[in-house]
Structures are given as C-alpha cells and as structure tokens.
Structure 1
C-alpha cells in the first residue's frame, strides 16, 4: 500500500490525497487543478528539506551553519574564506556571520585564522573534523537524492530537467514582473 510522501501512515486504496481536488471539495477544484503539480513539487522539496534538517539537527547544525561548512568545503584545497566573503555569499552582516562562526568554532568544525598580510582580516577554515562531517552529510543527502531519482528512467530524468529549467526561467520572469492588480 502506498505511503504518504513523508513516510507516514499508509494511504488506503482509492483515498484522495489531501491536496487533490476531491479532498479539497468540488467547489475549489477548478482553482486548484492547475496548481497541483507545483504543490506536489513543493511537497517533494519540503520533504527533502525536512530530512536534511533532521540530519543537521542530529549534529547540532542548522541550515545556515551547514551552509557555511558547505561553502568552505567548495572553497578549494585550503577550505578557507574570509568572514566578509562568507557574509556576502550568505547575504548576512559580518556580525551575523560572526555569531554563526562562533558556534561552529566552539564545535571544533572551523578555526579562525588571521591573514598573514593584514591582521584585520579573519579567515574561517574547515578543520579536519569539519571537513569529515560536511562530507558525510553531503554524501547522505546525495544518496537520498539519488534514491529519489532512481524512480525515474532516463527519458523521465531528461524531461524533468527540461521542465525544471523552464519553470526556473518562468519564475525569474514572474519575479521581474510587477504584481498583478487585484480584481475589482
């Protein structure tokens, strides 16, 4: 018997999903039918995000602190960037980055290093422990995504990639357009 997307109780055969027009009621069906695929994509993304959040919580991390580790992991062999560079990437203030860095440093996942040419500049660098943890979390997430994608054949994967590109372009246009005026 299929389970709901979050892995909860089995869905009885013939029972409508909570997001189907049948579950929402006939009067709302016409308005919701075009949005169903987006709702389903949102559900998949939300589930993956929740699973990653659970993995991070298990290691005392949050999405923002893990993002710092992941960015440092990708920063070349030194695994090191300045506080200002990381703050710009995360679009936070330097003081906001400092708070996150303090937590990661206390956990032994990063170290602070003064720049050898300008002592005012502070670099954040992954420790061996931070590198190992980041790699394990990323490997787990990649394996989860690979299992999900294994449900699709090659043609479906290619179609999904094309559709995702199309939606991403459309989303950019929607973001650039002014909001529609409410109906009178």
Structure 2
C-alpha cells in the first residue's frame, strides 16, 4: 500500500491526502509524492506559526526580533556579534536587520558598542535584560513546540528528525532552480 492509499484508511486522512486524491482524479498520470512530504512540511509550518508567533508576542517580541536576541544568546558569552555576522546568520538584508536592531535597542534588549580593535566597527551585544528575555522566550517556545509532537512517540520523533535532516542537507547541497 502506498502513502496515498494509507491515508484513505485513517478516517479520510489529512488535508494533503484529500488534495492528492483530488489531483489523482484530475491528473491521474501525475505523481504527487512530493506533495506528500513537502506539502505536509508547508502545512505543518502554517499550522504552528500562529502559536509560535503568539508565544513571542507574550514577550513583546515579533519572530524577527526573537531571532536576533536568540542568535546573540546562543553565540555564547559575551553575547556579541557584528551586524554582518548577524544578518548572515539570520539570512536577512542589512536594512531589515537595522530595523530590528533599532527596535531591540529602544526596548533595552541590545546595545551597539564600538569594537575594541576598530573604533569604526560596531558590535551588537545583548544587555542583561536581553539575555534573560531570550532565555525565557526560548524556554517557553520549546515547551509550546514540544506540545505539538504528542502524536509521535520518542522513536518516531527521532526517525522523523533524522529524515528531515537528510532531506534538508540534500536540498541545501543542491542548487535550486529559480521559481518562475
């Protein structure tokens, strides 16, 4: 039994099973296996996004702001990075980062410091309040995200994590065609 047929036995399956069944009727010659994996990954992301964003909002942060303070926090003491290191790690534009940094600085969570070796360069550092908030928000987020995994036992979670890592490494290692 293939994945498409397996979904039919589970009370009609999930949203992706329903979409695949519809496409199987309309375009029976088209293989929709990629939808079974990538479509579910996209749907999963959409299903949990609001809850994750609400978690950060409870700390008066948006997701982008959390990403900045979390990146600084996990960088280890002294919790400082250059703006270039930050926007490279976060995969955002320098302009987008500047906007986030302005808001975080105004909130007292980061400060911009002159680099000790080159006074023309700037370092972005977490304040003590930023260190504490990053940790609290991350702990709360991990508890929230863990609550979504109840349908899988420990071994299933481990297998899924290994397979997703393998898929992501394979995709990251391949030049992706531009959408068009």
Give the TM-score normalised by structure 1.
0.72
- Post-superposition shift, 1:120? 0.9
**Partner residue of 2:161?**
161
Residue 93 (structure 1) shift: 4.7
State how far apart, in whole Å, the 1-side matches of 2:21 and 2:138 are: 37
Listed as ranges, the gaps of 5+ residues in structure 2 are 1-9
Q: Deviations over 1:26-46 (max 9, x none)?
A: 624744752234322322222
1:82 equivalent to 2:64? Answer no
* Residues 29/62 of structure 1: CA separation in 2 closer, same or farther (3 Å cut): farther
Gaps of 5+ in 1: 1-12, 180-184
Q: Secondary structure of the equivalent of 1:113?
A: strand
Name whichever of 21-30 and 97-106 sits farther off: 21-30
Matched residue SS, 2:125: strand
Match of residue 25, structure 2, among 24, 27, 41: 27
Other-structure match for 1:5? none
Q: Secondary structure at the match of 1:149?
A: coil
Alpha-carbon offset, residue 25 of structure 1: 6.8
CA contact (8 A) 2:52 2:145 kept: no
The alpha-carbon distance between structure 1 residues 27 and 80, as it changes in their structure 2 partners (threshold 3 A), is: same
The answer for the alignment partner of 1:176 in structure 2 is 175
Contact 1:80 1:126 in 2 (8 A): yes
Distance 1:91 1:160, change over 3 A: closer
The 1:117–1:45 alpha-carbon spacing in structure 2 relative to 1, beyond 3 Å, is same
Instruction: Give how far 1:150 is off.
Output: 4.2
Considering only aligned residues, what root-mean-square deviation do their CA atoms show, in Å? 3.0
The count of residues paired between Structure 1 and Structure 2 equals 166
Q: Could you tell me which residue of structure 1 aligns to residue 138 of structure 2?
A: 138
Match of 1:112, SS state, is: strand
Q: Secondary structure at the match of 1:116?
A: coil
Tell me which of the two structures has the higher relative contact order, counting C-alpha pairs closer than 8 angstroms and 6 or more residues apart: 2
For residues 97-150 of structure 1, what are the alpha-carbon distances to aligned partners after superposition, in whole Å with 9 as ceiling and x for unaligned? 322211110011111212233221211111122112111111112112323334
Asked whether 1:51 is paired with 2:64, we answer no
* Structure 2 match to 1:38: 38
Q: CA deviation at 1:21?
A: 4.2
